[in-house]
Structure 1
Amino acid sequence: MSRLDTIAERLDSAAAKASAVAQLSTGADAITLDEAYEIQARSIARRLLRGEALVGIKMGFTSRAKMVQMGVADLIWGRLTDAMMLEDGGEASMEDYVHPRIEPEIAFRLSRPLSGNVSLPEAISAVDAVAPAMELIDSRYRDFKFSLEDVVADNCSSSGFVIGAWSKPPADIANLGMVMRFDGRPVEIGSSAGILGNPWRSLVAAARLAGRYGFQLAPGQIVLAGAATAAQPLKAGLHVALETEGLGRVDLKVKGAAS
């Protein structure tokens, strides 16, 4: 087994068992960004061999402040599988995660292939529906600490997602109000403008970045545009709801005990 395969197996096992592992960047397993994306691909390939199916990708570092914090100049992306999808109004179990957090997003559904350098009108024309969404992020690294390369290898911390009802894209999604509540109490109040100033820009970047690594987005697949606000830690017993102006609502319940 190659070095990258060994790391991919370690991260895949950590995700499957909801167990934390040491950072790669702090030991002998330091990697480059290209190697990190290759590890991500090989780790997800192990899931596909177990019967999961690719359903799209998620975007990360869509906040300019987060880019500055991490010292990067571009977005990152990870893969989504059907096993990561949670039912709107359904449940997520704390037992499936190490230290889960949740963040408000907007989801795009594609009606045609999308890959490489595309214009904003081309990206918009490839979408047949949008929806309110929330992503569960859960770094498999101890203490939720990681470098850029670490997080990319770990599928950009993507662990689960829930999507509300799909609808025809509104004329303008650049500044939709978004409120995420825990048990009815607002914990994050923001706007879709928090996603690169306009979520459509994230879709253009998704096509470019995925295409760089040989991934073509296919009709029917989903793109999570990125977080509109900071993520909030989850705990057992919570009812989480996101209301997005013009798009509607999505809900999730949290059960179980923290690991």
Structure 2
Amino acid sequence: MNMIDEVALTLDSAAREARATAQFDSDGRLSLEDAYEIQRASIQLRVARGERRVGVKMGFTSRAKMVQMGLSDVIWGRLSSGMQIEEGTAIDYSRFVHPRVEPEIAFVLKRPLAGDVSAPEALAAVEAIAPALEIIDSRYQDFKFTLPEVIADNASSSGFVVGPWCSPCIDFGNLGLTLNIDGRPLQIGSTAALLGHPLRSLVAAARLSAQAGEPLQAGWIVMAGGATPAEWIKPGQHVSVDMERLGSASFHVKR
């Protein structure tokens, strides 16, 4: 077994068993290309077990975060059917290692979208938009990881919840939102935090997924990235996002 497949198997097992695993590249020497190959191989293990690819998630969509990480581009991960959580339902905390949650806006596509597209071309491919929540859960011990390690670990993506689908004709470039835990707003932000406009995140998703040979497909969901800093979640909590004009999405965490 080569290094790519070995690390992919380790990360997949850590995710399935909800246990922390040791860093494998603490010096950050692994290339980003190899990190994405590990991510691809890890997701293929999920597909082999019967899960379906349902979309992609974008990460580091804040300009400040990109600068902080020394990046000139966003990162991305792959979404599978096993990661989707029905809105308003309860999740089992034991599924995760040390989960956090971010408020996001989600797109669902009505036709394929690939390559270097413009913002109007990207918008024309959108069937609907929705408020959403992403559960991120690094599988590494003590929540410590390098950039290649987080990419290999599917950009920490572990679960997502999508609220009501709404018309993409709504101007969603600067919608106010709150991330709430037990009804108390802990983070306040705007969709404008996503590269200045969420459509830029979708444009990046089309480009990066096509470069990887996995262009965005009709029916796929694109999670545009965290609009505020993430919050830790704990058993017994009710987590929700309220987004201007689009409504809300929520889940409960079982005790």
Report the TM-score, using the length of structure 1 for normalisation.
Answer: 0.96
The separation in 2 between residues aligned to 1:18 and 1:30, in whole angstroms, is: 26
Asked whether the 8 Å contact 1:24–1:31 carries over to 2, the reply is: no
Alignment of 1:107-122 (within 5 A): 107-122=106-121
**How far apart are 1:170 and its partner, in Å?**
3.5
Alignment of 1:1-259 (within 5 A): 1-26=1-26, 30-256=29-255
The separation in 1 between residues aligned to 2:68 and 2:22, in whole angstroms, is: 21
Q: Deviations over 1:221-243 (max 9, x none)?
A: 00000010000000011001111
SS at match of 1:170: coil
Asked whether the 8 Å contact 1:182–1:241 carries over to 2, the reply is: yes
**How far apart are 1:252 and its partner, in Å?**
0.6
SS at match of 1:181: strand
**How far apart are 1:245 and its partner, in Å?**
0.5
Asked whether the 8 Å contact 2:26–2:145 carries over to 1, the reply is: no
Question: Aligned Cα RMSD in Å?
Answer: 1.1
The separation in 1 between residues aligned to 2:78 and 2:105, in whole angstroms, is: 16
Asked whether the 8 Å contact 1:101–1:234 carries over to 2, the reply is: yes
The separation in 2 between residues aligned to 1:63 and 1:116, in whole angstroms, is: 22
Runs of 4+ residues over 3 Å off in structure 1: none
**How far apart are 1:102 and its partner, in Å?**
0.2
The count of residues paired between Structure 1 and Structure 2 equals 255
Structure 1 letter corresponding to 2:165: W
Asked whether the 8 Å contact 1:170–1:246 carries over to 2, the reply is: no
Structure 2 letter corresponding to 1:20: A
The separation in 2 between residues aligned to 1:64 and 1:23, in whole angstroms, is: 27
Structure 1 letter corresponding to 2:31: T
Asked whether the 8 Å contact 2:53–2:78 carries over to 1, the reply is: yes
The separation in 1 between residues aligned to 2:26 and 2:54, in whole angstroms, is: 32
Asked whether the 8 Å contact 2:35–2:148 carries over to 1, the reply is: yes
SS at match of 2:16: helix
The separation in 2 between residues aligned to 1:26 and 1:251, in whole angstroms, is: 35
Q: Deviations over 1:52-71 (max 9, x none)?
A: 00000000000112112211
The separation in 2 between residues aligned to 1:172 and 1:59, in whole angstroms, is: 21
Moved more, 94-103 or 164-173: 164-173
Which structure 2 segments of 5+ residues have no match? none
Which structure 1 segments of 5+ residues have no match? none
The separation in 2 between residues aligned to 1:34 and 1:24, in whole angstroms, is: 16
Structure 2 letter corresponding to 1:86: I
The separation in 2 between residues aligned to 1:193 and 1:254, in whole angstroms, is: 29
**How far apart are 1:30 and its partner, in Å?**
4.5
Structure 2 letter corresponding to 1:39: I
The separation in 1 between residues aligned to 2:23 and 2:147, in whole angstroms, is: 11
**How far apart are 1:93 and its partner, in Å?**
1.4
Q: Deviations over 1:73-113 (max 9, x none)?
A: 11000000111011110012110000000000000000010
**How far apart are 1:24 and its partner, in Å?**
2.1
**How far apart are 1:31 and its partner, in Å?**
1.8
